[in-house]
Amino acid sequence: MFSIEVRDLKKSYGSLKAVDGISFTVKQGEVFGLLGPNGAGKTTTIEIMEGLRERDSGEVKILGLDPWKDGYEVHKKIGVIPQDFTFFEKTTPKEAIKYYANLFNVKVDADAILKEVLLNEMENHVFESLSGGQKQKTGLALSLVNSPEVLFLDEPTTGLDPNARRAIWEVIRKLKTKGKTIILTTHYLDEAQQLSDRVAIMDQGHIVAMGNTEEIIQQHGSGERLEIHGNQQLAEYIKANTELQVEYNKVKEKIIIPLKKKIDMLAALAAAEQSGIPWGEIQTRQDSLDDVFIKLINEPLDEQEEEGIEQKLNKKGRR
Amino acid sequence: MVSLRRIYVDFKVFSVGYLRNKFGLFFGLIFPVILILIFGAIFSGESGTVDIYAQNQDEGIYVPSGMGIGGAVDINFGEEFLRALNESSTIRVITVNPSENFADFLAAHSASEGIVIPASFSRDYVSGQQVNITVYGSPASSTSGIVSGTVGGYANYFNLQHYNGNMIIGITSATVNTQQTTYIDFLIPGLIGFSILTNPMFSLVNIAADYKKNKLFKQLSLTPLTKMEWLIAKVLFYIALSAAGFLLMILVGVFAFGAHITLSPWLIPFLILGPTLFASLGMLIGTVAKNPETAGVIGNIVTFPMMFLAGTFFPLSMMPGYLQAIARVLPLFYVTEGLNNVMVYNNIPNALIDIAVLSIITGVIFVLAVKLFKWRED
């Protein structure tokens, strides 16, 4: 049974195709990450799933219901934290939970929910006095009031400091163990990797890769490679004395050798030892999700890859 | 469809939040009182021109040629008299159709002063028979004194012109049972109108634009609360706030300035319709504006002229005719006029007209606000 089915979903704003024919399904109890730079179409996608936006075409079923037409029914069964969650300034988290519970006409233990989202010590502070992380936790708390089957978290940790992010992660992990289906958008790779069972990488309205982390790396990554810390002379020596393909990264002073077979590693190391040229640290590496992400996102790379992803993502921001 | 429970829940959260906001409380309740104190102090003395209603029943007289006037003419000394009176610096004459029942007319227009010139005025004046002008006034009113004094002065002037001061034109006094009104009597309903306008209006313009920008409406759309329920909760809150402001202003007006105020159940429709109207109008403006800044500007453009032109701080009669005409298209006018009719002039039939007009405007604006305001986006 799929909690969520999306087929050939399209949505344009004027001439901008925000979402351009994406399809995916999410199983019950799964944590599904929509990963992509700003402007990739993540929020549009998630808002269509939440019934907050009307789609142009395609099919969307949330727990078997159309979120736009059956919004009222769908909203009883889902929990949502919108991007940049805000609430009434002068209302405390505890009052907010009671407010939601009364609107949904359900009985809840406000203290238990506050504890669940690690917010119990701030229950009587008004919303405007809370920190960014505490505000997000209030959002999480509210999204839990109606005991939803599906949770939509739109960039739940954007703009938070590392500690606050980790705290939110902890809460999300706890929810996962309770069997909630969770859709999460993020532009943080580590967040997607840490929390999701499966990830869809979105770019310019398309899904460019989908699966669990290993699957994506396998499909789109470049396989295993050996990296030797050393000078260019050594790189040339290895190249001349083996049949291996050798690249040299001047900035990092790294000799990079893609490994077709495990045995290639021995040949490379033997050549290095033979050369008499000193060499340092060795490691074998596979493309990480970061590498794949950079490769898939449709923009030429910066020279300084290291500073990398974060900067690049911000630059791409369209909305 | 509409759930009272959800309205109550939203009302409660909003009220608690509002009461925690000292700034809002100040502007909601204290500020109008401060205005009463300021304006009350400024205008505690009376001055200026008095408006009086005058009915000229004079049938005129035919004067054949050779009477020292030139050719044969119809002369209406009543008209002459009123013209002279109007040129005085103390009185402005507003003429009333001779077919009206004058006493009823005064009551209907909540006026405490007026004069009637009898049908035989010209004939008697020319033939030298004594004739009396009736001056309506209220014994309690200081303006009535001014009026009778001025009219008497002009009567003497007319007597002097042709009869060497013999008493041909005399004065009869008639009493009008309208109470004397002072500026403060007028100011209290005006400022109640002011707070009925500004509180819901500024708040809702702000909230509507802000919630839209912060996606709080989206957030709320994910709950069973409907936009209609949300708006009703806000309307109820501002009705309650207006009622509190009303009581506070009445107390200050009566105890600090000795205002003469009639309290009547007929005030209730205004205290309900007014906040409903302006909360809806604020919502409407906040909804159609693209961002909070534009909303604020449009809000001010709509609010400020209304604030000054609808008889809030100054009586409408002080304004030139074209401004009075403009005032009649401003919704606030019907609130302040209605409050004046009930509280000051005790003129319920006129207040009923205000209630009727107000009900229609309120209904239209409320429906428009609910229709146009969107929880979610397309």
pLDDT at A300: 44
What residues of chain B score a pLDDT lower than 70?
Answer: 43-48, 65-71, 139-142, 177-181, 377-378
The two tokens of residue A168 are 């939110």
Query: Looking at chain A, which residue has its C-alpha nearest residue B17?
Result: A90
Contact A175, A141 (CB under 8 A): no
Nearest CA to CA, how far is B294 from chain A (Å)? 21
Radius of gyration of chain A (CA): 24
- Residue B110 in tokens: 């909540």
pLDDT digits (tens, 9 = 90+) for A82-93: 888 999 999 999
Q: How far is Cα A244 from Cα A263, in angstroms, rounded to an integer?
A: 11
Residues of B with CB under 8 A from a CB of A: 5-6, 9-10, 13-14, 16-18, 20-21, 214-216, 218-219, 221-225, 376-378
Segment A278-284 shows an average pLDDT of 88
Count Cα neighbours of A300 within 13 Å in the Cβ-side half-sphere: 1
**Contacts of B355 by beta carbon, 8 Å cutoff, 6+ apart:** B266, B269, B270, B273, B338
Q: What's the CA gap between B200 and A83, in Å, rounded?
A: 29
Distance from CA of B266 to the nearest CA of A (A): 35
Q: What percent of chain A clears pLDDT 70, i.e. is strictly above it?
A: 93
Q: Residue B17: its chain A contacts at CB < 8 A?
A: 88-91
Map out the domains of chain B with their CATH numbers.
4-44+182-372 (no CATH), 50-175 (3.40.1710.10)
- B13 and A72 within 8 Å at the Cβ level: the answer is no
Whether B216 and A88 lie within 8 Å, measured CB to CB: yes
Cα angle value A311/A313/A318 (rounded, 5°): 125
Tokens of A35: 């990963």
Query: Could you tell me if A2 lies within 8 Å of chain B, comparing CB atoms?
Result: no
Q: How does DSSP classify residue A28?
A: T
Mean pLDDT (chain A) is: 87
A·B CB contacts under 8 A: 72
For residue B240, what are its two tokens? 């309650």
Q: Which percentage of chain A shows pLDDT scores above 90? A: 50
Phi, psi of B281 (to 5 degrees): -65, -40
pLDDT band of A315, cuts 50, 70, 90:
very low
Task: Give the residue from B177, B54, B74 showing the smallest Cα distance to B117.
Answer: B54
Q: Which residue has the higher pLDDT, B26 or A25?
A: A25
Where do the domains of chain A lie, and which CATH numbers do they carry? 2-219 (3.40.50.300), 224-285 (3.30.70.100)
Q: How many CB atoms lie within 10 A of CB A292?
A: 23
Q: C-alpha distances in angstroms, B366 versus B61, B273, B275, B279, B295? A: 59, 10, 11, 8, 18
User: How many residues are present in chain B?
Assistant: 378
The more confident residue out of A11 and B106 is A11
The model's pTM is: 0.73
For residue A11, pLDDT beyond 60: yes
Mean pLDDT of A295-317: 50
Chain A, nearest residue to B7 by Cα: A103
**Cross-chain residue pair B215–A99, CB shorter than 8 Å:** no
| Beta-carbon count within 10 A of B144 CB | 24
- Chain A's closest residue to B19, CA to CA, is A90
pLDDT of residue A308: 42
Contact across the interface for B223 and A104, Cβ inside 8 Å: yes
CB contact under 8 A, B9 and A83: no
Strand partners, A60: A6
Cβ of residue A95 closer than 8 Å to a chain B Cβ: yes
Cβ–Cβ below 8 Å for A71 and B225:
no
A189 falls in which pLDDT band (50, 70, 90)?
confident
Tell me phi and psi for residue B147, to 5 degrees: -65, -50
Question: Which candidate from B6, B18, B215 shows the least CB-CB separation from A103?
Answer: B6
- Secondary structure (DSSP) of B88-111: SSSEEEEEE-TTS-HHHHHHHTT-
Establish whether this prediction's ipTM goes over 0.85: no
Show residues of chain B in contact with A53, CB under 8 Å: 376-378
Tell which residue, A156, A160, A167, A165, has the closest CA to residue A34: A156
* pLDDT at A61 (0 to 100): 95
Which residue, chain included where needed, has tokens 């929810």?
Answer: A175
